[in-house]
């Protein structure tokens, strides 16, 4: 069965019949199950200038133009500080709603963007068959279709992340809430169809959609109602005017609706900062921090904060030493963030050594699958899909 979205149309295609998922109907009560929001930082975020070891001389020696001083950072614990653009996340840290998990990676790190991201998405290396992502596989083994036909939603114009892939697909992708305003013409539908299947499947889908306009309009109207029914409650939350914040605002609206989606996935791109890193990285971290702070405030105002956890990761960190272009090159271990009302806030683990390196890179102390295990446990889902027994971390209170 192929799930796809066209101009706000959420459809399931199989055996030539139409099916509007039952979770879209308005007579449902708001769900109460835990929800995971994943924020992917694509390009390899510089963890050393995100969670900054400002007291260590080696940090300043290795980064003569990129390092931050004690006076500049937002202090966390007397030894570490956030980048000065991360005011919103710093407030959440002080409120004990943010866990900073230090030195996260995996053995024998790969410095290719694509391969490393695939490892994070599937929990397996390329010499092993990788047909499913960790989220898609866990959903399929943990939730029956009777519980939730489409529990995963990816919001963004990029290709759907491998993490959501499953043999029996149960995820959908949309670009924005504007997609829910259906225009019943082939050009509009063709421009927004997103599918990982073959061209033949896509053509079949287009034909199906053209013959199902009335049902599509009904579904679109339901999504509009679900996504906008509590706009008055949201008047007090001031979201920044950037793309990530807009995505997170959409996610907050959908969480606070009858739609029973359990995982929301968004991406912030641009972290491959090989040259002139300072301004670009500052802008990206400001977007991340301000967007997540507004999102958390919005969830609190909607009384949804207690059932939502947000995970932030990147495919790798950057090297300790800056390069000759005032940037940083591909590295290995870096920090992950987990935030929410039920998160055990604080700094988790020790900062990786800046003198005991692995080929010039920071060594990992936690395998990323330990974070996944902890999160899947909190969701009440199967962890066996991670491929081994990874000890969970104390990330949830």
Spatial distance between the Cα atoms of 354 and 99, rounded to a whole number of angstroms: 22
CA angle 268, 390, 316 (to 5 degrees): 30
Spatial distance between the Cα atoms of 291 and 199, rounded to a whole number of angstroms: 36
- Write the DSSP assignment of 351-396 as a string of letters: PPPSSS-BTTBPPPSEEHHHHHHHHHHHHT---GGGSS-PPP-S-B
Find all residues with CB under 8 Å of 78, minimum gap 6, and list them.
55
Overall fold of domain 34-175+241-386? Alkaline Phosphatase, subunit A (3.40.720)
Spatial distance between the Cα atoms of 310 and 296, rounded to a whole number of angstroms: 9
Query: What confidence score (pLDDT) does residue 174 get?
Result: 83
Query: What confidence score (pLDDT) does residue 247 get?
Result: 95
Query: What confidence score (pLDDT) does residue 329 get?
Result: 98
Q: How many CB atoms lie within 10 A of CB 258?
A: 18
Domain ranges of the chain: 34-175+241-386
Per-residue pLDDT of the chain (397 residues; tens, 9 = 90+): 333 333 233 333 222 223 334 434 334 567 889 999 999 999 999 999 999 999 999 999 999 999 999 999 999 999 999 999 999 999 999 999 999 999 999 999 999 999 999 999 999 998 888 899 999 999 999 999 887 778 999 999 899 999 999 988 888 888 766 654 444 344 444 444 444 344 444 444 344 333 333 444 444 455 555 555 555 445 569 999 999 999 999 999 999 988 889 999 999 999 999 999 999 999 999 999 999 999 999 999 999 999 999 999 999 999 999 999 999 999 999 999 999 999 999 999 999 999 999 998 999 999 999 999 999 999 999 999 998 889 999 999 8
In this prediction the pTM is 0.84
Q: Which residues of 323-343 are buried (b: 16+ CB within 10 A; e: fewer)?
A: eeebbbbbbbbbbbbbbbbbb
Query: What confidence score (pLDDT) does residue 197 get?
Result: 40
**Quick one: which of 283, 291, 286, 306 has its CA closest to 248?**
291
User: Residue 235, exposed/middle/buried by CB under 10 A (0-12, 13-18, 19+)?
Assistant: exposed
Query: What confidence score (pLDDT) does residue 236 get?
Result: 67
CA angle 188, 257, 136 (to 5 degrees): 70
Find all residues with CB under 8 Å of 187, minimum gap 6, and list them.
none
CB 100 within 8 A of CB 311: no
- Write the DSSP assignment of 156-174 as a string of letters: SSSPPPGGG--SS--EEEE
């Amino acid at each position: 069965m192929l799930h796809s979205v066209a101009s706000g149309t959420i459809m399931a295609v199989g055996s030539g019949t139409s099916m509007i998922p039952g979770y879209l109907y308005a007579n449902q009560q708001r769900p109460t199950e835990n929800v995971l929001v994943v924020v992917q930082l694509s390009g390899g975020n510089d963890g050393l200038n995100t969670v900054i070891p400002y007291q260590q001389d080696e940090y300043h020696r290795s980064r003569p133009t990129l390092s931050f001083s004690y006076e500049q950072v937002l202090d966390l614990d007397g030894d570490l500080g956030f980048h000065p653009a991360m005011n919103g996340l710093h407030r959440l840290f002080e409120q004990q709603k943010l866990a900073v998990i230090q030195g996260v990676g995996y053995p024998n790190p790969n410095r290719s963007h694509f391969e490393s991201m695939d490892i994070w998405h599937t929990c397996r290396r390329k010499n092993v068959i990788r047909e499913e992502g960790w989220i898609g596989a866990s959903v399929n083994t943990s939730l029956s279709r009777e519980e939730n036909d489409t529990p995963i939603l990816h919001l963004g114009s990029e290709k759907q992340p491998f993490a959501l892939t499953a043999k029996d697909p149960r995820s959908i992708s949309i670009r924005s809430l504007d997609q829910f305003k259906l225009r019943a013409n082939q050009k509009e539908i063709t421009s927004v169809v997103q599918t990982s299947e073959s061209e033949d499947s896509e053509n079949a889908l287009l034909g199906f959609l053209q013959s199902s306009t009335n049902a599509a309009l009904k579904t679109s109207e339901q999504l509009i109602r679900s996504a906008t029914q509590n706009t008055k409650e949201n008047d007090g939350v001031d979201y920044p005017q950037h793309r990530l914040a807009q995505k997170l605002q959409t996610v907050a609206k959908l969480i606070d609706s009858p739609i029973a989606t359990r995982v929301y996935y968004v991406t912030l791109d641009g972290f491959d900062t090989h040259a002139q890193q300072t301004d670009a990285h500052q802008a990206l971290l400001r977007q991340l921090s301000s967007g997540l702070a507004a999102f958390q405030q919005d969830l609190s105002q909607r009384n949804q904060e207690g059932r939502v956890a947000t995970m932030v990761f990147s495919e790798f960190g950057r090297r300790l030493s800056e390069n000759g272009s005032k940037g940083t090159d591909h590295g290995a271990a870096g920090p992950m963030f987990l935030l929410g009302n039920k998160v055990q806030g604080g700094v988790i683990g020790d900062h990786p050594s800046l003198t005991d390196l692995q080929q010039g890179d920071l060594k990992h102390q936690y395998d990323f699958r330990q974070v996944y295990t902890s999160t899947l446990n909190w969701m009440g889902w199967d962890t066996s899909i991670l491929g081994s027994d990874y000890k969970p971390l104390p990330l949830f209170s």
